[in-house]
Amino acid sequence: MSKITLIGTVHHDPRSAAPLAALLTQLQPDRLTVEIAPEVVLYRQTHGILLLRKLGMIVERLAGSAALAPLLAEHPGIKTIRTLLGLPYEFSVACSYARQRGIRVEAIDQADSSLDKLRPVEEHLISLRYLKKIISSPKAAPADNARRYELARQLFAAPDPRLRSAFLQGCRGEEGIGLRDRHLAEKIRSLAQSQPGHLVHIGGWVHLLDDPAGETLYSLLADLQPRRLLLDPDQPLTL
């Protein structure tokens, strides 16, 4: 039976890539799993790359020259679209570490039905008309990932289970806590039982909460006594 460590992240937080790489170096896992579906990985590696190329060409056209395009590409709205089109940092960092160590990375999330909804949305984003609107509009406030991590710390430490239960109530459903967590838990349990060593799973922090209803990934694996780590770039972990 493998030792299991669960790393909780805030998705789409570019600051967290370097801390995650450093954490994996400290943990030295023998096997890695990531909360992403294999179908999504394939889509990002094929169609996502084509959309990124199209985005680059439109940005260059809007900038008026190839020399100015890199400046326009740093616009927060453009950077957000690039993040959405690419592979999540959790998977990219895991793959980079795995290549160095010669170990496997398993994409273990359920096939996401929302992938069919995602394609037309992303294709709508990569249009001259929409990108013109993005760069001419006032810059949106950046995502407050620090606040999300603060919420995570508070819920992890909350002594009253009713607080976690109230929060999780809004996260349950077909694409949230529930069926997906059971699928992830079954995958991790099977992998942990197949060989010894240290298995590290990387996924959204919400799935690592101790759930009074027993539906989160952590709760479903509680009998295996997994270790939980919250990846917070503002508060480095001490192992």
pLDDT in tens, 13-43: 888 999 999 999 999 999 999 999 998 898 8
More confident residue, 122 or 139: 122
- 175 pLDDT tier (thresholds 50, 70, 90): low
In the chain, % of residues over pLDDT 90: 49
pLDDT at 8: 96
Q: What pairs with residue 4 in β-bridges?
A: 199
Mean pLDDT of 191-206: 95
Query: Which residue in this structure is represented by tokens 């190329």?
Result: 53
Query: Which residue in this structure is represented by tokens 């995958």?
Result: 187
Residue 141 has pLDDT above 60, yes or no: no
pLDDT at 113: 58
- 221 pLDDT tier (thresholds 50, 70, 90): very high
User: CB atoms < 10 A from the CB of 190, how many?
Assistant: 10
pLDDT at 203: 96
pLDDT at 164: 93
More confident residue, 203 or 70: 203
Radius of gyration of the CA atoms of the chain, in A? 19
pLDDT at 126: 84
- 4 pLDDT tier (thresholds 50, 70, 90): very high
pLDDT at 222: 96
pLDDT at 143: 63
Sequence-distant (6+) residues with CB within 8 A of 110 are 37, 179, 180, 183, 184
pLDDT at 130: 86
Q: Phi first, then psi: give them for residue 219, nearest 5 degrees.
A: -65, -35
Residue 158 Rama label (left phi>0; alpha psi -120 to 50; beta): beta
Residue 1 has pLDDT above 80, yes or no: no
Helices (H), the chain: 17-27, 38-43, 49-63, 69-73, 76-85, 89-101, 115-125, 128-136, 145-157, 161-169, 179-194, 217-220
In the sheet that holds 105-107, the strands lie side by side as: 105-107, 31-34, 198-204, 3-9, 227-230
Looking only at the bridges linking them, the beta strands covering 105-107 and 31-34 are: parallel
Nearest to 46 by CA among 96, 85, 90: 85
User: CB atoms < 10 A from the CB of 234, how many?
Assistant: 11
Mean pLDDT of the chain: 88
**60-98 pLDDT per residue, tens:** 888 887 777 887 888 888 888 888 888 999 999 999 999
Residue 156 has pLDDT above 70, yes or no: yes
CA distance 65 to 70: 10
Nearest to 230 by CA among 2, 10, 18, 22: 10
Q: Which value, to the nearest 10 degrees, does the dihedral of the CA atoms of residues 83, 89, 92, 94 take?
A: -170
